A and B are shown apart, each in its own frame.
Chain A
């Protein structure tokens, strides 16, 4: 009698654990993505402000310098293996910023280096960056064509 009661309790407990665990994982993942992503953006803002003040650049040029600097650090940190660690901790917090775009390029290129400089590094560089550029540029051209004919 007591045994079956315990069994029931166990089942209820396991169900409860099932119900709660994914949620706490979700919360943990969201918080990590939030603060790491936020910090990467703050670093971007620092670079942007520094470019404006120290290099006396216009808003557009400062934005471009920021993109180059952030891509540089994303690539460097991926090369020395640090970005993967950040990625394991922060998930999308490391993927969504432009440093994650740089990370996808270096990571896939390094992985396929064995296959040579042309079809290995040269081609696999674009394994993830390729689709990003295809859909990004493709959509933007559509936008341009529509804007031209609608006359925006």
Chain B
């Protein structure tokens, strides 16, 4: 029980800090939402590739995977595994294979709710 609480605390704090850094960048530099998202994904790929991000995922679980850095990390992880398995082809198949569920869900649900909901539905 105590272990679970500790884990959730780590998730909260690490996830919170990663978002806080984003907020700091948005307020202190000219980065808007799009640039933050692009920057986080790209940085996630690099941190994943050099092996710095996976330990954070082990440490903080969803606190590291839910922020978009985690999406980048998954891309890198998928690519590296696929390259080890299939060689150069893996560089092109690994990233999307590892992130297929998230990307497909984003396209599908994104389209669905953009069509079903009207801007007037704003609560």
Q: B-contacting residues of A (Cβ < 8 Å)? A: 25-26, 29-30, 32-42, 44-45, 47-48, 63-68, 70-72, 75-76, 78-82, 84-85, 90-93, 95-102, 104-106, 109-111, 113, 117, 121-122, 125, 128-129, 131-133, 135-137, 139-141, 143-145, 147-148, 152
Contact = CB atoms under 8 A, between A and B. Distances in A.
B67 A68 contact: no
Contacts of A144: 79-80, 82-83, 88, 90-92, 94-95
A85 B123 CA distance: 9
Q: Main SS of the interface on chain B?
A: helix
B38 A137 contact: no
Contacts of A91: 22-23, 26
Nearest to B10: A45
Contacts of A40: 15, 19, 66
14 contacts: A35-B16, A41-B12, A42-B15, A63-B65, A68-B101, A71-B109, A75-B106, A75-B109, A93-B19, A139-B46, A140-B78, A143-B45, A148-B83, A148-B91
Nearest to A133: B103
B10 to A, nearest CB: 9
A96 to B, nearest CB: 4
A43 to B, nearest CB: 8
Interface of B: 7-8, 11-28, 33-34, 36-38, 40-42, 44-46, 49, 61-63, 65-68, 70-72, 74-76, 78-80, 82-83, 87-88, 90-92, 94-96, 99-103, 105-107, 109-119, 121-123
Give the 10 A-B CB pairs with smallest separation, nearest first: A144-B91, A37-B19, A41-B15, A81-B122, A38-B16, A79-B117, A92-B22, A109-B114, A105-B110, A33-B23
B114 A41 contact: no
Contacts of A48: 61-62, 65
Contacts of B62: 41-42, 44-45, 47-48, 66
Contact of A42 (B8, B82, B83, B114): B8
A75 B27 contact: no
A148 B87 contact: yes
Nearest to B46: A139
A75 B104 CA distance: 13
A67 B111 CA distance: 17
